[in-house]
């Protein structure tokens, strides 16, 4: 393969123009992704050295019986694995023979080219990124490995190839990629299970499949717990607000519901307590219900509970205007220890939830 530019500049400055694309390539532009800035020979020259194989002394045998010629000095410089390999081989032979099998020969070509010029074609990267990850790991070429990891993470990893990427990331000791992949799989477990990669993993690495399913179950549980806690918290906040509204209704009289023991002022603004609206119908019902006994009507039962809860939170029943506040306080003293603990726990949770959200503790004393 020959270059269209015979006069490739041998010396470049940092302002040197980007080398022209190789003539043998498709119309897609060759992305010069990485370049040795300190190098004084242009990327095109490195490419040419590789393409022309001038005085090459390495013969790389690939899976499809393709032979790629290269230079031991370049390969040895770029990879300690090649360096050791060449040291061991008999120098008297004209060519070092290096088999690189198990990946497509085109991937090997892209890999070796990268060792020359630190560049790759984006289309080829997309096609061979997994092979390049394996090769860069096996031959200890960290720059290419990092590039493959980044490309996979940001561009080429998807739910269809996630299982393959995950296994390779584990194999190639790429912890960040492993984590990103793991997250993607857990997030889309159903789709991942249907992928070909999953089916293959089931056959070849059943333990890995088991581990993935186990972590997925743990994660699902964690999410469920989180949702449960959030819902509980919502209930506690609502209860706290209901307690505030109850005091407000009994103390101030509510414009929406009707004043407790004050003259109704038509010009008064409607109530701004959110919880008042919810309590309004409950209070109205409670006032008129004929079944007003604990355990009777569901709505009344709820009202009883709210009144009891209020009494638990109320600081001074002597001045409190909420009905039955004192009665419940007296009743609490006679309550079984087990029931008493239940109430105390609820009160603590309500007050703590509200204090976490930034609002002050329930302060009835201050409002009387």
Query: Cα 153–155–159 angle (5° rounding)?
Result: 75
CA dihedral sign of residues 38, 41, 43, 46: negative
| Among candidate residues 99, 84, 165, the one with its CA nearest the CA of residue 132 | 165
User: Could you give the CA distance from residue 145 to residue 118 in angstroms, rounded to a whole number?
Assistant: 12
Min. distance of Cβ 262 from Zn ion in angstroms?
13
Question: Nearest distance from residue 350's CB to Zn ion, in Å?
Answer: 15
Alpha-carbon distance of 164 to 211, in angstroms, equals 15
* Residues 242, 252 contacting (CB under 8 angstroms): no
Interface residues toward Zn ion, by CB under 5 A: 254, 271, 273, 276, 289, 297, 299-300, 314, 320, 322, 325
CA 338 to each of CA 125, 311, 344: distance values in angstroms, whole numbers, following the listed order: 67, 18, 10
Q: Shortest approach of Zn ion to residue 331 CB, angstroms?
A: 13
CB atoms within 10 A of CB 34: 16
Gyration radius (Cα) of the chain, Å: 37
Beta carbon nearer to Zn ion, 99 or 258 = 258
Q: Which is nearer to Zn ion, 12 or 256 (CB)?
A: 256
Q: Is 236:354 a contact under the CB 8 Å cutoff?
A: yes
CB of 355 to Zn ion, least distance (A): 20
CA neighbours closer than 13 Å in the CB half-sphere of residue 21: 11
Residue count of the chain, please give it: 368
Phi-psi region of 197 (alpha: psi -120 to 50; beta: other; left: phi over 0): alpha
Residue 185 or 279 having the CB closest to Zn ion: 279
Nearer to Zn ion, 6 or 269 (CB): 269
Neighbours of 256 (CB within 10 A): 14
CB 307 within 8 A of CB 323: yes
Closest CB to Zn ion among residues 237, 297: 297
Considering the complex, state which of residue 216 and residue 297 has its C-beta at the smaller distance from Zn ion.
Answer: 297
Question: What's the N-to-C CA distance of the chain in angstroms?
Answer: 93
Q: Considering the complex, state which of residue 30 and residue 354 has its C-beta at the smaller distance from Zn ion.
A: 354
Closest approach of Cβ 265 to Zn ion, in Å?
13
The residue among 85 and 299 lying less far from Zn ion, judged by its C-beta, is: 299
CB of 280 to Zn ion, least distance (A): 8
Closest separation in Å from C-beta 354 to Zn ion: 17
Nearest distance in Å: CB 301, Zn ion: 8
């Amino acid at each position: 393969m020959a270059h269209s530019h015979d006069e490739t500049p041998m010396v470049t400055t940092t302002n040197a123009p980007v080398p022209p694309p190789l003539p043998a390539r498709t119309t897609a532009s060759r992305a010069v992704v990485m370049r040795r800035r300190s190098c004084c020979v242009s990327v095109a020259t490195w490419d040419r050295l590789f393409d022309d194989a001038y005085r090459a002394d390495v013969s790389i045998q690939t899976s499809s019986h393709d032979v790629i010629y290269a230079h031991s000095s370049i390969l040895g410089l770029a990879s300690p694995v090649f360096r050791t390999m060449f040291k061991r081989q008999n120098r008297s032979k004209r060519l070092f023979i290096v088999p690189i099998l198990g990946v497509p020969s085109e991937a090997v070509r892209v890999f070796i080219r990268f060792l020359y010029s630190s560049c790759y074609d984006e289309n080829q990267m997309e096609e061979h990124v997994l092979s390049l990850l394996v090769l860069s790991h096996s031959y200890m070429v960290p720059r290419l490995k990092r590039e493959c990891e980044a490309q996979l993470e940001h561009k080429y990893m998807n739910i269809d190839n996630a299982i393959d990427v995950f296994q390779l990331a584990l194999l190639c000791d790429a912890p960040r990629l492993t984590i990103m992949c793991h997250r993607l799989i857990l997030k889309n477990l159903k789709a991942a299970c249907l992928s070909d990669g999953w089916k293959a993993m089931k056959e070849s690495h059943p333990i890995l499949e088991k581990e993935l399913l186990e972590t997925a179950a743990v994660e699902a549980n964690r999410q469920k717990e989180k949702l449960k806690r959030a819902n509980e918290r919502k209930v506690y906040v609502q209860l706290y607000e209901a307690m505030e509204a109850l005091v407000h209704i009994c103390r101030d009289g509510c414009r929406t519901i009707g004043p407790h023991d004050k003259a109704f002022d038509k010009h008064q603004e409607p109530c701004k307590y959110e919880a008042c609206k919810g309590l309004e119908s409950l209070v109205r019902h409670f006032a008129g219900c004929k079944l007003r006994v604990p355990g009777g009507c569901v709505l009344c039962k709820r009202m009883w509970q709210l009144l009891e809860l209020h009494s638990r939170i109320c600081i001074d029943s002597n001045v409190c205007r909420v009905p039955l506040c004192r009665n419940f306080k007296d009743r609490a003293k006679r309550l079984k220890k087990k029931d008493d603990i239940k109430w105390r726990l609820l009160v603590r949770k309500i007050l703590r939830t509200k204090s976490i959200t930034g609002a002050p503790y329930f302060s009835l004393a201050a409002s009387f």
